[in-house]
Amino acid sequence: MSKKLEDEIARLVSNLITDGFNRSMNALEIAGAIDRKKLKMHYTGVGSKYYDLVTEQMNLTVSYAMPEIKKMVAEYEAKKE
């Protein structure tokens, strides 16, 4: 797999994880399961306490997923030939 494709896949996976996290947090708040007042004070973008913590964990998830994704792409490409 090319580095460009690997980067594009990593970016897509990261965006999907981010979207899932945000949707889940909103759904939990709407359902009354959580109160996000404290989170909102420290989750204000790059450099903020919780944003950086969450981003670090999402990046770890992407890095853990990439070897399996690369393997899947390699197997798919091998079958095409």
Return the percentage of the chain with pLDDT > 70, whole number.
100
Burial level of 64, CB count in 10 A (0-12/13-18/19+)?
exposed
Average pLDDT over residues 51-66: 94
Instruction: Tell me the per-residue pLDDT of 41-54, one tens digit each, with 9 for 90 and over.
Output: 888 888 888 889 99
Q: How far apart are CA 66 and CA 61, in angstroms?
A: 9
Q: What residues does each domain of the chain span?
A: 3-80
